[in-house]
């Protein structure tokens, strides 16, 4: 498939050739056995054209390509990764807005989509566990008793970038589209936790929600993750009921959800009903064995994993994407320069610099990097690059975070569930 074979098999070097294929999957698709080794392919199968002609007298039937999402209120440009549960990603060129519109925002569910509540303000949230005062409060009371704040912050799926791993890892094969940056309105979770009176034994949160498990078994959580208390008390960790100035949509966890910025989006529980404070690391669904966990010591790619060698995934890695031009863009003959736009982010950290290359990494050019509106916001970037001639070019984008960690050429630290893959982004264009 273009989605998998053309991206995973053709990217043993880890560099991202678009899953959707260059020029609709019928023209050149960039890939190399070594960095800088671009190679024209025959279709989307990942076989050099000369080899394809010798391999068989007749080419195989073209594989079925990626499917676009069809969901009320959502752009049909989103790519469907799974329908049970519903999962859809946003192509990089649709992430060109400073604030990601709701219709372009990615979807990641774990259970069955609950019905939209008819009375949002009556929705109840409980705080219990290692607290002095158990709290049960309605959304209406939260809104009336606490001053609302709005922050523009990135929400990113823990598996974003998974499709770049080789050998392939389990799960939805995200490219870079499991991320979005919305204006979230709500209140700091810390305010509610402090009102509950945290005991000295309090160490970790455990989140619960209203969505039904895929099995349909009542009372079985579809997912229940949590975070260290230090992260829960960060003023940017919020209980939110608004998105881009509108009531939080049901598909995005409405009427109320958590936003735990910088960490895997699975910690940002949708349809929030309860937070239990625990005296140890939470062990709910999505917290144990290899779920949202990374190797402590690097393991052999594709090898047998030992759960004892894994830790909870926390801050997401640095990432930069090209949002314009789109992969597969064509330009008129004689075009001598391209104007580029992109976005970058770095989990709990900030982005220190972004560099781009149009010669397969032989040389790099620093971009103009904007400051974020607030912590955890996207950092937009722009650049103008010169082209020496007509022909095929690739734009590579590489970000460096505030601690000096740089995006790698290939997805490293392989793990069975494919978390933490942040290989640099590649976009192919044709001039003339």
Q: What is the DSSP string of 381-424?
A: EEEEEE-SSSEEEEEEEEEEETTS-B--SS--S--TT--S--PP
The residue to which tokens 């440009």 are assigned: 77
* Average pLDDT, integer, range 116-145: 98
Closest by CA to 66, choosing from 12, 115, 7, 110, is: 7
pLDDT per position as a tens digit, 254-290: 999 999 999 999 999 999 999 999 999 999 999 999 9
Residue 50, φ and ψ in degrees, nearest 5: -65, -40
**Above 60 in pLDDT, residue 56?**
no
Q: Can you give the pLDDT at residue 229? A: 98
CB distance 396 to 356 below 8 Å: yes
Task: Quote the percentage of the chain above a pLDDT of 90.
Answer: 85
**Mean pLDDT along residues 234-254:** 98
- Tens digits of residue pLDDT in 366-424: 999 999 999 999 999 999 999 999 999 999 999 999 999 999 999 999 999 999 999 99
Q: How confident is the model at residue 66 (pLDDT cuts 50, 70, 90)?
A: confident
Q: Which residues contact 263 (CB under 8 A, 6 or more apart)?
A: 227, 231, 313, 314, 315, 316, 347, 348
Contact 289, 305 (CB under 8 A): no
- C-alpha–C-alpha distance, residues 98 and 382, integer Å: 13
Kind and range of the H or E run holding 142: helix 139-145
Look at the domain 77-312 and name its fold.
Sulfite Oxidase; Chain A, domain 2 (3.90.420)
Contact 254, 211 (CB under 8 A): no
Q: Does CATH number 2.60.120.380 belong to domain 319-431? A: no
Percent of the chain with pLDDT over 70: 85
Backbone angles phi, psi at 10, to 5 degrees: -80, 5
Q: Which residues contact 347 (CB under 8 A, 6 or more apart)?
A: 262, 263, 315, 316, 317, 318, 401
User: What is residue 19's DSSP assignment?
Assistant: T
In this model, does residue 44 exceed pLDDT 60? no
Looking at every residue in the chain, the average pLDDT score rounds to 88
Q: Hey, what are 17's tokens?
A: 């050739």
Taking the C-alpha atoms of residue 162 and residue 345, their distance in angstroms, rounded to an integer, is: 17
Q: Is 185 helix (H, G, I), strand (E, B) or coil?
A: strand
Tokens representing residue 310 in the block: 């894994």
Sheet bearing 319-324, strands edge to edge:
319-324, 337-345, 379-386, 368-369
Residue 315 neighbours by CB distance under 10 Å: 14
The per-residue DSSP string of 190-234 comes to: HHHHHHH-B-TT--EEEEEESPBPTT--TT-BS-----BHHHHTS
pLDDT in tens, 295-338: 999 999 999 999 999 999 999 999 999 999 999 999 999 999 99
Instruction: Domain ranges for the chain, please list them.
Output: 77-312, 319-431
Q: Give the model confidence (pLDDT) of 200-241 as tens digits.
A: 999 999 999 999 999 999 999 999 999 999 999 999 999 999
Distance CA 326, CA 18 (A): 10
- Reported pTM: 0.87
Q: Which residue has the higher pLDDT, 55 or 35?
A: 55
Residues 6+ positions from 421 with CB-CB distance below 8 Å: 159, 160, 161, 162, 163, 164, 165, 169, 411
> Tokens representing 273?
């009903």
Which position has the token pair 């003959």? 333
Interstrand relation of 124-129 and 272-278 (parallel, antiparallel or unpaired): parallel
């Amino acid at each position: 498939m273009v989605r998998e074979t053309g991206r995973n098999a053709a990217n043993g070097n880890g560099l991202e050739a678009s899953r959707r294929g260059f020029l609709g999957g019928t023209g050149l698709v960039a890939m190399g056995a070594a960095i800088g080794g671009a190679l024209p392919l025959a279709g989307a199968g990942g076989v050099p054209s000369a080899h394809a002609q010798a391999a068989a007298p007749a080419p195989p039937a073209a594989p079925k390509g990626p499917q676009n999402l069809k969901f009320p209120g959502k752009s049909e440009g989103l790519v469907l990764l799974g329908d049970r549960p519903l999962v859809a990603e946003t192509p990089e060129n649709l992430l060109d807005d400073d604030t990601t519109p709701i219709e372009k925002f990615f979807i990641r569910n774990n259970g069955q989509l609950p019905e939209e509540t008819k009375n949002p303000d009556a929705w109840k949230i409980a705080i219990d566990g290692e607290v002095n005062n158990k709290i049960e409060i309605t959304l209406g009371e939260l809104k009336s008793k606490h001053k609302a704040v709005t922050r523009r912050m990135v929400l990113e799926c823990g598996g974003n970038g998974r499709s770049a791993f080789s050998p392939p890892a389990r799960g939805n094969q995200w490219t870079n589209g499991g991320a979005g940056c919305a204006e979230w309105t709500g209140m700091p979770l810390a305010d509610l936790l402090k009102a509950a009176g945290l005991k000295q034994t309090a160490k970790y949160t455990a989140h619960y929600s209203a969505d039904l498990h895929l099995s349909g078994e009542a009372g079985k959580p579809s997912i229940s993750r949590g975070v260290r208390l230090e992260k829960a008390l960060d003023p940017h960790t919020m209980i939110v009921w608004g998105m881009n100035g509108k009531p939080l949509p049901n598909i995005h966890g409405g009427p109320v959800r958590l936003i735990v910025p910088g960490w895997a989006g699975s910690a940002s529980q949708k349809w929030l009903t309860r937070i239990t404070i625990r005296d140890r690391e939470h062990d709910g669904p999505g917290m144990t064995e290899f779920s949202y966990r990374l190797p402590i010591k690097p393991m052999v790619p594709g090898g047998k994993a030992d759960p004892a060698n894994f830790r909870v995934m926390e801050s997401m890695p640095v990432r930069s994407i090209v949002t314009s031009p789109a992969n597969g863009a064509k330009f008129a003959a004689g075009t001598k320069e391209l104007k580029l736009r992109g976005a970058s982010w770095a989990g709990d950290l900030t982005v220190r610099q972004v560099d781009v290359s149009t010669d397969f990494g032989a040389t790099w050019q620093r971009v103009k990097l904007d400051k974020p509106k607030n912590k955890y916001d996207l950092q937009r970037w722009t650049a103008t690059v010169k082209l020496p001639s007509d022909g095929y070019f690739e734009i590579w984008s590489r970000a460096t975070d505030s601690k000096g960690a740089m995006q790698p050429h290939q997805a490293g630290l392989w793990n069975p569930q494919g978390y933490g893959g942040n290989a640099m982004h590649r976009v192919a264009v044709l001039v003339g």
